[in-house]
Amino acid sequence: MSRLALITAAALTALMTGLAHAEIGPPAPLPKDCYKEPLPINVPAQTGGAELGGGSPIGTNYNLTPAESPNGPANGCFPIFNPGLPGAPDDVVTFDGIPEQIRTLVNGAVPQVVEQEMVIGPNETHLTIQLSTPPGTQLFPGGQFGPGMVPLTDACVLLGNALPLNFNGPKVVTNATIVFRQNATPVAGPFDVTSMFSTPWNGTFAMELPGAAGSPINVVLLDIFILFPECFEDEDCDDGNPCTIDECINFVCVNTPVADPCCGINCDDGNPCTTDTCADGLCINEPIVCNDFDCCTIDECVAGACVYTHVKNAIPTQHAARRAFHKAHAPCLALGGGSCNGGGGGPPITVPALDDAWTTHDGCDTGTSWRIGLDAGDPPIPAGFFDPGSEPFTGTITFQGVPLGDPNFGNADTIVRRSSDPFDRDDLPGPDEVTVELELVQLQLVSCEPITVIIDGQPTQWDVTATISDCSPPAGTLTAVKSNCNGGTYSYALNVQQKATFTKVGDPGTIRVFDTGCLPSPFDYDALEWPDPTPWFHDIDPNLPLALNRSSTFHTGVPAVSASTVCGDFDLDNDNDVDDFKAFLQSYGHVAFEPEYLPYTDYDGDADTDEDDYREWLKCRRCHVADPTAKPPVPLPLGDLTVDGSVIGDDLAGFVDCLLLGNPPAGVCTRADIDQNGMVNERDIAGMVLILMEVN
């Protein structure tokens, strides 16, 4: 940025006798109507202390030509300009803001300007500007009169910074003095003029020196201490962090963290069902989670409070919407193959289709044990594992199960996964074995009591938990035989590679992990074999309080007495016949909480007996009759509106007539009541269509 250094002196004199002049008074701010701040002028870079050359040479004579202000005499202010700068207003000056072409005679000499700078600290500098004329001359000549013969008694001074300073940017004057001298002798001052500088400083300085006209003053020396501050206003200190109070104090930015985590921000989103908080100045509006862990309730937040509505009180009345509602709530409505009709509670318990949830034997007397270093070829836990001074550990650790914490698995502590179900419902029984892969996917056991480890000769106690290794062993196998249409027997060989975590008793922060599968020389995995044939079933009694996935066709761990040897045998009479089909038709098209709905007809457990469930039941029928293309039995008299012993298209017209007649049905229309609920309505349409399409 170019800076301007110039001196403007307006000699305001009084009538004097000889060399006498009025007493010089203290400096005062220059009236605004006496000067107009000059425009910036491009000045060649000069070294500190160098004379500002160019323009008219020192000694050039000028003539004083007062200019009449359009508004009258401007307090007698008469400008005199320094011609030492190229293009400086020694040629064009202002009087009361009006440019005038004037020359100034200063006893035959033109003033000289010298500027020096000295760095005195970080971002701080000391600047001196000296204006002088030769000895014996007057810088502010006397005996001058302004327009209207107003005597000019006061001097008007304008100085400015011209040379580039060592620091860049906005600046503030922290201290400034001015002294007026005759050669080296002070005539007036020094005066503290700090308050006369603008903040930030614009590079120029103006003042009025009353009574100075006609004085022997020929030197003006301005001392300025300049700071290039970090800030001037609070806005300069904005650090972009809403969590600080940004202030400019003594030209230094101070960013003070606020105690309020919301930083003054109102995070209330107006929704009573959200928790409104904030962090680092950002709003967090988390929905209020309502969950009473009751599968029979719809959980929602209303006006800031949790409301739990029993699903029976929220079922839509329109049938299509009712079916969609039940599909959406299938995990709860078909709990364990049953429903929530009885009120029930607790979270829904469903198991992924190919997973079996196991529970370790209760009690430590019959629990699972791990023998370490006791058998041939079985290494101990090595010395130095627990601590540098620990001895090798050998012994037997007995475990008990710890529930996995997943409500889907109840109290199970072990999850075993099959690669697929070995048999489908329509596979015929026979002696052939089917083998699928079996792997351990979750395990959570805890030692029944701490183990003792000798460290530096002293016994220490450690609790132990067992989970599965991060380095899995090869998959095991499950081999099954289907001996009847509802199941058979299976055996398995499961490979187990455990990871043990040891926690020092009394010092829970001291933990050691021993992953037997990921060691440089891994331990052999354990092969758990169950060679004895164990029953499995396609369908089980839906009234059993078991957690299972209804879409699976392979269920284990169910007592043999609980199941029929025929799947799809709803009346448990060891066959699949027309009575079972009628039971299915009763439930077909209905959803949980409707009295016609029968949980055991809902094969996929989605709380809706539909086409998918019919296909599974039909597989059971085809296995039972050993015919892969068998159709369901004709459920006479249902659907036989013409009373001819069959259900064909001719019966459809009679079915429509019965729909229009109203309820309760009478006579032949009782045959149109497909779901056998004492009414003929739109609920029977699905069953009638199913019969027409499937039995012929």
* pLDDT, tens digit, 9 for 90 and up, residues 615-662: 999 999 999 999 999 999 989 999 999 999 999 989 999 999 999 887
Is-contact 288 271, C-beta < 8 A?
no
Res. 403: pLDDT tops 60: yes
Give the residue with greater pLDDT, 430 vs 360. 430
Please, which pLDDT band fits residue 2 given cuts at 50, 70 and 90? very low
Distance CA(526)–CA(204), nearest Å, equals 92
Query: How much is the average pLDDT of 531-555?
Result: 75
Give the residue with greater pLDDT, 85 vs 327. 327
Please, which pLDDT band fits residue 17 given cuts at 50, 70 and 90? very low
What residues contact residue 416 under an 8 Å CB cut-off, 6+ apart? 355, 356, 358, 438, 439, 440, 441, 494
pLDDT score, position 241: 82
Is-contact 687 589, C-beta < 8 A?
yes
Res. 81: pLDDT tops 50: no
Identify which of 660, 659, 663, 653 has the alpha carbon closest to the alpha carbon of residue 684: 659
Res. 220: pLDDT tops 70: yes
- Residue 190's Cβ-count burial label (10 Å; 0-12, 13-18, 19+) is middle
**At what angle are helices 578-587 and 683-694 packed, to 10 degrees?**
140
- Lowest average pLDDT, out of 211-215, 291-295, 683-687, goes to 291-295
E strand map for 170-294: 172-182, 185-192, 204-209, 219-227, 244-249, 252-257, 274-279, 282-287
pLDDT score, position 198: 82
The predicted model scores a pTM of 0.51
- Lowest average pLDDT, out of 21-25, 96-100, 351-355, goes to 96-100
Task: Please report where in the chains the tokens 């710890």 appear, as a residue.
Answer: 402
- State pLDDT tens for residues 576-596: 999 999 999 999 988 877 888
pLDDT score, position 76: 35
Query: What is the distance between the terminal CA atoms of the chain, rounded to a whole angstrom?
Result: 100
Find out whether the peptide bond into 190 is cis, omega within 30 degrees of 0. Answer: yes
What percent of the chain lies above the pLDDT cut of 70? 71
> Using the 8-state DSSP alphabet, how is residue 591 labeled?
B
The three-class DSSP label of residue 300 is strand
pLDDT score, position 51: 31
Distance CA(337)–CA(146), nearest Å, equals 113
Query: How much is the average pLDDT of 104-113?
Result: 48
Res. 412: pLDDT tops 70: yes
**Token reading at 624:** 């039972």
- Lowest average pLDDT, out of 49-63, 131-145, 330-344, 529-543, goes to 49-63
Dihedral Cα 391, 396, 402, 404, nearest 10 deg: 80
- State pLDDT tens for residues 496-536: 998 999 999 999 999 999 998 888 777 888 888 877 888 99
pLDDT score, position 318: 60
pLDDT score, position 146: 58
Q: What is the helix (H) or strand (E) element at residue 616, kind and residue range? A: helix 611-624
Is-contact 115 7, C-beta < 8 A?
no
Report the 10 Å Cβ neighbour count for 161.
Answer: 22
Res. 444: pLDDT tops 70: yes
- Lowest average pLDDT, out of 28-32, 421-425, 476-480, 543-547, goes to 28-32
Read out DSSP for 229-247? -S-SSGGGG--S-TTEEEE
Report the 10 Å Cβ neighbour count for 695.
Answer: 17
Identify which of 322, 346, 368 has the alpha carbon closest to the alpha carbon of residue 607: 322
Amino acid identity, position 432: D
